Structure 1
Amino acid sequence: MSGGATYLARRAAQKERVRILYRRALKDTLNWAVHRHLFYRDASDLRDKFEANKRVEDLDAIDRLIADGEANHNKFRHPDPYIVPWAPGGSKFNRNPTPPSGIEIIHDYGREDNA
């Protein structure tokens, strides 16, 4: 009984690793492809590579394929990936930090009483 549970747990972990690898590789493909028509072709090629090994059942062979895929992805990663400007590491991240405590912000500027 525990052999079946171990098998299922290992398969679930492998599926998760493949999913993460595919997403990372797909996002990295978007960094390399400047135009969308190039990205679509590269994304289709990437999907075909993953689909080619979809029916492999041997757990050790799957682990080797995942390790090879991760090594290949790390080898060909983009040296300067695109970062969303407002995300950590982006050009606009923390551009307007919150004001320090003790400073009062007046939200009705220009509507002061003329008294």
Structure 2
Amino acid sequence: MSASAGGYLARRTAQKERVRILYRRALRDTLNWAVHRHLFYHDADELRAKFDANRHVEDLDTIDRLINEAEASYEKWQHPDPYIVPWAPGGSKFSRNPRPPKGIEIVYNYGKEEND
């Protein structure tokens, strides 16, 4: 394998990874905009069609340009107040019940005798 072929494969791999990450982020952000699932499914189909329209582009520079345009569009249209799962970091229930301090033991036997 020549150096140019190795460079080509490395660049294509990086592009595929950028596209995969962008698609997943955009799909996740689509859930923030769609209030109901039937709206989300329609929007998800449109998003997939946009990605599939450029699936067969082979020129590396064109692919880079398309990725940059798509990332700029994603940043522009990203939801200003995304949904966060309540128990995830940043959610309303995150760390609501913090771990007890060291030295405090939690007993789960609820008063049962040890010799029962």
Normalised by the length of structure 2, the TM-score is 0.92
Give the superposition deviation at 1:84.
1.0
Query: What's 2:80 paired with?
Result: 79
Give the superposition deviation at 1:108.
2.4
Query: What's 1:49 paired with?
Result: 50
Query: What's 2:18 paired with?
Result: 17
Give the superposition deviation at 1:92.
1.1
Query: What's 1:111 paired with?
Result: 112
Query: What's 1:100 paired with?
Result: 101
SS of 1:88 mapped into structure 2: coil
Question: Which string of whole-angstrom CA distances, capped at 9 and with x for unpartnered residues, describes residues 1-54 of structure 1?
Answer: 000000000000000000000000000001100011111110000011001111
> Sequence identity of aligned pairs in percent?
72
Query: What's 1:26 paired with?
Result: 27
SS of 1:29 mapped into structure 2: helix
- How many equivalent pairs are there? 113
Mind listing any 5+ residue stretches in structure 2 that lack a counterpart? none
Give the superposition deviation at 1:86.
1.1
User: Which moves more between the two structures, 84-93 or 19-28?
Assistant: 84-93
Amino acid at match of 2:22: L
Residues of 2 paired with 1:68 and 1:85: CA distance? 33
Give the superposition deviation at 1:107.
2.2
What is the aligned-residue RMSD (CA, Å)?
Answer: 1.3
Give the superposition deviation at 1:98.
0.9
SS of 1:42 mapped into structure 2: helix
Amino acid at match of 1:91: S
Residues of 2 paired with 1:74 and 1:91: CA distance? 25
Residues of 1 paired with 2:87 and 2:28: CA distance? 18
Mind listing any 5+ residue stretches in structure 1 that lack a counterpart? none
Normalised by the length of structure 1, the TM-score is 0.93
Give the superposition deviation at 1:97.
1.0
Amino acid at match of 2:27: L
